[in-house]
Amino acid sequence: MKSKVFVLSAVVLASVMLFTACQQAAPAAEAAPAEAAAPAEEAAPTEAPAVAPALSGQLQLAGSTSVQPLAEELANAFMAANPEVSIDIQGGGTSVGVTSAGDGTVDIGNASRAIKDSEMEQYPNLQVFTIAYDGIAVIVNPDVELTSLTKDQVQAIFAGEVTNFSEVGGPDAPITVVSREEGSGTRGAFEELVLEYKDANGEKQIKPIVDSALLQQSNGQLLTVVATTPNSIGYLSFGFLDDSVRALAIDGIEPTVENVKNGTYPIYRPFNMLTNGAPSELSQAFLDFVLGADGQAIVAEDYITVD
């Protein structure tokens, strides 16, 4: 009996000793603390696409009645693309355009001829932007049976040296001369291009238009007078031509845009816009539009582009 108890005690003791040894040899491993997750990298803020600020404000234009219809078309297109912009355009003639721009009473002046040296001396800060070219047609009442004149014959008629159409191959009828008023850009260009001559000393002079001429304040008025006055003759911007009058060939060259571009038609002039010094931001935006592809496409409908 004592033998059995001894054996059992030995077994228990051995088991205890074995358990204790195992506990010392292999202590329970502590779970390593989890590393803190690296914070997610913040995404760089996305920049909003650059948007040009909307244009707004008012522009005042004044001057040449020849430039006015084209300027109005260009302004309407520009305002359609920029609803916050308002552009007001008045006539008055090229001289008004030069003085208004030079005095700063308008944002942009319109002129339908080259700017004179005397005007540049008076307004040395004038900036000149040529936006188009325009031909000047010599027109007669549709009942006048005449299709062509030489430039010398046109000069003689408007200077009062030829007074009957029969003298230049037309009907036996007294000529009624119709002209634009003093200060008109169309008249200024016509005088320089047609009525200029050199005197005995080789100096350039301009023959005055005959005193009996019927003077008109705009291209539209001149068109109406020639269309309704028998045996009349006048001159007119290409942009105003219609079937109510007959446009004459000059030196055998028809008055067309193509013939101005190829250099064969002799009577044409520039259309200019003028600013007093550097244009304002809004004026520059409008001028950029006028001289850009969209503006020049409008010019090409009735006039001659600058490119």
- Give tens-digit pLDDT for 219-242: 999 999 999 999 999 999 888 999
DSSP H/E element including 250 = strand 249-250
**Higher-confidence residue: 204 or 63?**
63
Is the CB of residue 302 less than 8 Å from the CB of residue 70? yes
What percent of the chain clears pLDDT 90, i.e. is strictly above it? 71
Residue 171: pLDDT band with limits 50, 70, 90: very high
Residue 34 has pLDDT above 60, yes or no: no
Nearest of 77, 297, 72 to residue 307 by alpha carbon: 297
- Angstrom distance (rounded) from CA 288 to CA 302: 20
Residue 1's pLDDT is 43
Residue whose entry in the numeric block shows the structure tokens 């997750």: 37
User: What's the whole-number average pLDDT of the chain?
Assistant: 87
Residue 46: pLDDT band with limits 50, 70, 90: low
Determine the length of the chain.
307
Q: What's the pLDDT tens digit per position in 208-218?
A: 999 999 999 99
Residue 13 has pLDDT above 70, yes or no: no
Q: Which residues of 133-161 are buried (b: 16+ CB within 10 A; e: fewer)?
A: bbbbbbbbbeebebeebebebbbbbbbbe
Nearest of 239, 185, 256, 195 to residue 217 by alpha carbon: 185
Residue 96's pLDDT is 96
Residue 53: pLDDT band with limits 50, 70, 90: low
Residue 269 has pLDDT above 70, yes or no: yes
The runs of H, that is alpha helices, within the chain are 2-25, 68-81, 94-103, 117-122, 151-158, 185-190, 219-228, 257-261, 281-291, 293-302
| pTM score of the predicted model | 0.65
Is the CB of residue 142 less than 8 Å from the CB of residue 299? no
Q: What's the pLDDT tens digit per position in 287-302?
A: 999 999 999 999 998 8
Residue 43's pLDDT is 53
- Angstrom distance (rounded) from CA 115 to CA 119: 7
Structure token digits, residue 74: 């260009």
Residue type, 94: T
Residue 44 has pLDDT above 90, yes or no: no
Domains in the chain (CATH in brackets) are 57-133+270-302 (3.40.190.10), 135-269 (3.40.190.10)
Q: How many CB atoms lie within 10 A of CB 178?
A: 25
